[in-house]
Structure 1
Amino acid sequence: MRQLSQIPPIEKLLNLPEIEAYFTLLSRTIVAEIVKTQVKEYRNELVQTNQSVDITLLLDKILVKLAYQNKIRIQPIINATGIVVHTNLGRSPLPKAIWQEVGDIVCNYSNLELNLLNGKRGNRMGLLNQVLQAYFGGESSIIVNNNAAALHLILKTFAEGKEVIVSRGEQIQIGGGFRIPDILADSGAILRDVGTTNITTIDDYLNAINDNTAIVLIVHQSNYYIEGFSQHVDIKQLAANLPEHVMLVIDQGSGNHLAAIPSELSVNNYLKIEPDLICFSGDKILGGPQSGIILGKKDKINKLSKHPMMRVLRPGKETYALLEKILIHRLNRDGKADNSVELLINQPLSWHLARAKQLADIAPEKLVLKATKFMVGGGSTPRAQFDTWAISINSNLHTSTLIERLRNNNPPIIGVIQNDQVLLYPVTLSDEELSIVKDYLTILTTEIDF
């Protein structure tokens, strides 16, 4: 078809400003590939339909595909969901000041595995072991790349081919299809479930112990709980009655060390029971980088550190540097790395209302104040909810359309739909983000039909 020659060359299309703008976002290589693919598909379409060349239509196809690719690029978003530790949104935000402080360490060579005292090979934990001990307690510690890896390493090291006793009520599944029975099976451990979904007693544990029992595992129930006729064991009493050959391992999960969060035992409280090992996430309540932190008895930690899987599961230099720096600032109580969960829980309700009013005052008849609750999130404690104020957007648009429009902003604003209303929670917004949302709502309330 002669008209196919009217389609501009690839290089000419790539020089168009609206396409070239995507180079810095996606790379010129990926943009060029998308343009080539769209041009090829459009050529085939023209051959099949015998239609005339429409350059505007072709350009629209290319830009739609580029926009789609841009949406799947990792990028900053504004969390207005009222969930402080949001797994889908990167869990806890890292303090910017801390990120800047560790910049010289992670962007240059460092003594990650070099002992500066004698010039020999060093230990990656460095000072971090002492810092974790000062912050949490415990005899010793080790870091892996997430809490699932921490649990897997513990089971692989101490229970391969042996039995691990787990309460039936703690055989949970969390996000991404992660299941406790599956990780036990993958580690080579043998699951021995005891009790029932709602009640497990000390006798259930003790009666299940045999010569092949390696571990009694206490698992954090993550984002669900059992109400009503239920009973949990006194873990201190359980620990006191375990035979010497059986380890007590606690998957605390969230890293909660705050007495302010009810209905969940903190890391510190568990350590008072003196379990053999306890593991939890570094990027949930702790607010650090993604990591799995294992604390416990020195001989057990030493054995974990020497297991071949440790090299597979160990994190990079960024994780060690960030954790060390965050916890040093926390120990100094200088405010540079304050825990966001703790800060928000302790804010007076008047603070929450004042922030929400900043948004509502833009258009009070369209942005309605709503008394509600915010959550810690991150698989910590689903029963812990705290008073706050949110904004309900009063619009004739369907909620799905409105929530999509918010999501299509740059940066995307992620709200929630509750009771057929779109809500924005100022509690999870930084001061800078609150200003961005104010500017966006100022425009939105003048553009859409209410």
Structure 2
Amino acid sequence: MAAPEESVVHGSKARPQDLPSVDKLLRLPALQDLLGTQGHTFVAREARALLDELRQLAVAGALDREQLLAPTLGAALAARVRQRLAPRLQRVLNLTGTVIHTNLGRAVLPPAALAHVARMMEGPVNLEYDLASGDRGERDTIVEELLCEITGAEAATVVNNNAAAVLLTLAALAGGREAIVSRGELVEIGGAFRMPDVMASAGARMVEVGTTNRTHLADYARAINAHTGLLLKVHTSNYAVQGFTSSVAEAQLAQLAQEHELPLVTDLGSGSLVDMSLWGLPKEPTAQEMLAAGCGVVTFSGDKLLGGPQAGLIVGRRDLVARIRSFPMKRALRLSKLPLAALEATLMLYRQPELLARELPTLRWLARPQAEVEAVARVLLKPLQASVAPRYGVRLAAMQSQIGSGSLPVERLPSAGLAIAPALDGKRGTGTALEALAEALRALPLPVIGRITGDELLLDCRCVDEPAELLAQLRMLKESLA
């Protein structure tokens, strides 16, 4: 291997036999600190992989001799080690305009939840241990009292997401029996979660009633028979049927269910625990309203409008929740200690509803006035212009944010941000230029995720709390675009 001081003929190609051995590479003085901090086993494995890649290039006649200089090899190995040790899951800046973004982790946990999770990670916890009696406890009790207090339910249990909550509820209450549901509520959400498939997986026989756009109380009544296990209402949060439509209110359906001694189960999906209209947002049905209307069981998500961790919440009548909790499938779907800790801390915030818009990031971003969002965009405008010039131009723009994750799909929130367009003569090459910019933003240490619409890349500032995080990276962005 050529030493740093050895001359190398510029442009000459290296042969496979010119490559050093793994042992010789690892003896380079520049790599001793790396070996000390990362361990010989891991660094040696990466050195072997690096040399294998270089050998293939040499065989193909595509390896320059300059690539075998000691400083170059050492830097390449150090960079490879850093890349291999970098976690796949990392924080990003959400400038897409979608507040509860499924692909970006949905709700962001409030500081109280982060602090509580950190404390619970420091040592053993009373996950299933009753501190008062010293006996074995039940993990549901960690949040059951809170959920009952907030929603008015008699009992509650939790699982790892709302799809699991629906699956478990159907299996426990309608396994081997019929579940009656309106044809207009046979939803499919992300990840191919289809209500008919969930029914089948739960062992329930689905009975569709009504039509796609209109279902009446009489449709449910005619379908009830000796094999009926429950009536099911599904809140169609991820789409809207408009025009000549009709559906049956929960209060009416609850009365029919009571007459036939059947449980009425309502899947709220996004599931809010507060009236969103108090903050000028579109009204969403709450778990409290569904229970007050007579629903026996209500299921909803923890990581959407509620603003907490991924979880499926099941609240309702004591006898029905008891059947759900004791069903064998429950153990496979239960929450672990960390999301339970995050859920407990998030639910605690709902005891002080006046503070929610301040303490709950999801609600704070959803309720943020357009003027406040625009003020953030103005702070970023000139520095961003300087960073992407002369290849791109940047302008302040009014935008339309959305709630996301299937919540109120047709509603939009007036917002503001930055629109970036390539400085080109005509439209040819616009798409390639925008993709290059989007890639450069994603490659930053704290990746920035926007959205390409038409001939511009849009950076919606609704979810930007601290512009300094983006400002600190603009120099790197400028260098990558140079």
Residues in 2 aligned to 1:11 and 1:166: alpha-carbon distance in whole angstroms: 68
1:101 equivalenced with 2:101 (yes/no): no
Residues in 2 aligned to 1:81 and 1:277: alpha-carbon distance in whole angstroms: 35
Query: Is the 8 Å Cα contact of residues 282 and 289 (structure 1) preserved in structure 2?
Result: yes
Query: Is the 8 Å Cα contact of residues 250 and 294 (structure 2) preserved in structure 1?
Result: no
1:359 equivalenced with 2:380 (yes/no): yes
Q: 1:199 Cα shift? A: 1.7
Residues in 1 aligned to 2:31 and 2:104: alpha-carbon distance in whole angstroms: 29
1:74 equivalenced with 2:86 (yes/no): no
> Cα gap change, 1:381/1:6 in structure 2, threshold over 3 Å: closer, same or farther?
same
Residues in 2 aligned to 1:31 and 1:164: alpha-carbon distance in whole angstroms: 58
Residues in 2 aligned to 1:156 and 1:27: alpha-carbon distance in whole angstroms: 50
Amino acid at match of 2:187: I
Q: 1:106 Cα shift? A: 3.0
Query: Is the 8 Å Cα contact of residues 444 and 477 (structure 2) preserved in structure 1?
Result: no
Q: 1:414 Cα shift? A: 0.4
Aligned to 1:56: 67
Q: Which moved more, 1:304-313 or 1:197-206?
A: 197-206
Equivalent residue for 1:147, pick from 150, 159, 162: 162
Query: Is the 8 Å Cα contact of residues 434 and 452 (structure 2) preserved in structure 1?
Result: yes
Equivalent residue for 1:43, pick from 55, 58, 70: 55
Amino acid at match of 2:271: G
Q: Which moved more, 1:63-72 or 1:382-391?
A: 63-72
1:255 equivalenced with 2:282 (yes/no): no
SS at match of 2:383: coil
1:344 equivalenced with 2:365 (yes/no): yes
**Which whole-Å deviations, capped at 9, do the CAs of 1:108-149 have from their partners, x for residues lacking one?**
111111111111111212342111122222111001111111
Amino acid at match of 1:7: L
**Which whole-Å deviations, capped at 9, do the CAs of 1:142-193 have from their partners, x for residues lacking one?**
0111111111111111111111112222212211122111111111111111
Q: 1:68 Cα shift? A: 7.6
Aligned to 2:7: none
Residues in 2 aligned to 1:63 and 1:218: alpha-carbon distance in whole angstroms: 57
Larger-gyration structure (1/2): 2
TM-score normalised by the chain length of structure 2 = 0.82
SS at match of 2:414: strand
Q: Which moved more, 1:132-141 or 1:12-21?
A: 12-21
> Cα gap change, 1:209/1:6 in structure 2, threshold over 3 Å: closer, same or farther?
same
Amino acid at match of 2:444: N
Q: 1:386 Cα shift? A: 1.0
> Cα gap change, 1:15/1:85 in structure 2, threshold over 3 Å: closer, same or farther?
farther
Residues in 1 aligned to 2:267 and 2:408: alpha-carbon distance in whole angstroms: 14
Q: Which moved more, 1:255-264 or 1:200-209?
A: 255-264
State the identity %.
34
Aligned to 1:437: 470
Residues in 1 aligned to 2:66 and 2:173: alpha-carbon distance in whole angstroms: 65
RMSD of equivalent CA atoms: 3.3
> Cα gap change, 1:123/1:27 in structure 2, threshold over 3 Å: closer, same or farther?
farther
Residues 20-419 of structure 1: pairs in structure 2 closer than 5 A? 33=45, 35-44=47-56, 46-47=58-59, 49=60, 54=65, 56=67, 73-242=88-257, 243-259=259-275, 260=277, 261-262=281-282, 264-333=284-353, 335=355, 338-362=359-383, 366-396=393-423, 398-419=433-454
Amino acid at match of 2:296: D
> Cα gap change, 1:71/1:107 in structure 2, threshold over 3 Å: closer, same or farther?
closer
Query: Is the 8 Å Cα contact of residues 374 and 386 (structure 1) preserved in structure 2?
Result: yes
User: Any gaps of 5 or more consecutive residues in structure 1?
Assistant: none
Query: Is the 8 Å Cα contact of residues 7 and 55 (structure 1) preserved in structure 2?
Result: no
Residues in 2 aligned to 1:236 and 1:15: alpha-carbon distance in whole angstroms: 77
Query: Is the 8 Å Cα contact of residues 359 and 367 (structure 1) preserved in structure 2?
Result: no
Q: 1:258 Cα shift? A: 3.4
Q: 1:327 Cα shift? A: 1.7
Amino acid at match of 1:105: M
Residues in 1 aligned to 2:169 and 2:264: alpha-carbon distance in whole angstroms: 11
Query: Is the 8 Å Cα contact of residues 301 and 312 (structure 2) preserved in structure 1?
Result: yes
Query: Is the 8 Å Cα contact of residues 22 and 66 (structure 1) preserved in structure 2?
Result: no
Q: 1:19 Cα shift? A: 12
Residues in 2 aligned to 1:262 and 1:423: alpha-carbon distance in whole angstroms: 24
Residues in 1 aligned to 2:368 and 2:248: alpha-carbon distance in whole angstroms: 34
Alignment size in residue pairs: 444
Amino acid at match of 1:414: I
Q: Which moved more, 1:59-68 or 1:249-258?
A: 59-68
